[in-house]
A and B are shown apart, each in its own frame.
Chain A
């Protein structure tokens, strides 16, 4: 078979490169948003609800798991979200505002268990970055 065949559509080969402008069902630009690349100020002002809105009304056990309301040994949900700054201080030994020591520890255990996709995860992850 000849290697330098003309194209099947009858158009002769040229030296110019082909540039396809149509990309079926695909995008030619993928943007990576800097979810963690926030300024120090915005990290400290970000918020972590305990628990996240998907589990509103659930209580927080000492190990940080969410449990049914009024489960013995568990703590009621936090009245309002904590800020990154409050959580950062608590991780250094302070208690979260408006909580007892045990309650604060339970909330911090909950926050440590946060996973991607849960409200507050990005905020908590940001606190782990060097220099925060």
Chain B
């Protein structure tokens, strides 16, 4: 079965933008994360609904000209490792 990736539920994080960086404070863990592109866009896409890697790529491709699509798995792994994306 394909893994589905999900962003934290609404209200789980405080978010701010500063000088091209996205700052996320994750309330549950008390950790602060500094994100650069494309991580914030991936979280935004996953916020609408949990999706597979392929579905995520399609969603991103609808909004952006996606380069190096093969690296999407690495980006997701980083977000999972940071505790910002969960899998099911």
The reply to whether A32 and B65 contact each other, CB–CB distance below 8 Å, is: no
Closest to A33 in B: B31
Report the minimal beta-carbon distance from A1 to chain B, rounded to whole angstroms: 24
In the bound complex, CA of A20 to CA of B50 (Å): 22
**A13-28 near B? 1/0 per residue, CB < 8 Å:** 0101111111100011
The reply to whether A34 and B30 contact each other, CB–CB distance below 8 Å, is: yes
The reply to whether A17 and B36 contact each other, CB–CB distance below 8 Å, is: no
Size of the chain B interface, CB-CB below 8 angstroms: 29
The reply to whether A29 and B34 contact each other, CB–CB distance below 8 Å, is: yes
The reply to whether B66 and A30 contact each other, CB–CB distance below 8 Å, is: no
The reply to whether A29 and B67 contact each other, CB–CB distance below 8 Å, is: no
Size of the chain A interface, CB-CB below 8 angstroms: 18
Closest to B39 in A: A28
Which residues from chain A contact B4 at a C-beta distance below 8 Å?
none
Report the minimal beta-carbon distance from B56 to chain A, rounded to whole angstroms: 10
**Residue picked from A18, A31, A37, most chain B C-beta under 10 Å:** A31
Which residues from chain A contact B55 at a C-beta distance below 8 Å?
none
The reply to whether B79 and A21 contact each other, CB–CB distance below 8 Å, is: no
In the bound complex, CA of A34 to CA of B25 (Å): 11
In the bound complex, CA of A123 to CA of B12 (Å): 28
**B64-81 near A? 1/0 per residue, CB < 8 Å:** 111111111011001101
The reply to whether A29 and B66 contact each other, CB–CB distance below 8 Å, is: no
In the bound complex, CA of A107 to CA of B86 (Å): 46
Find A19's partner among B34, B65, B78 (CB 8 Å cutoff).
B65
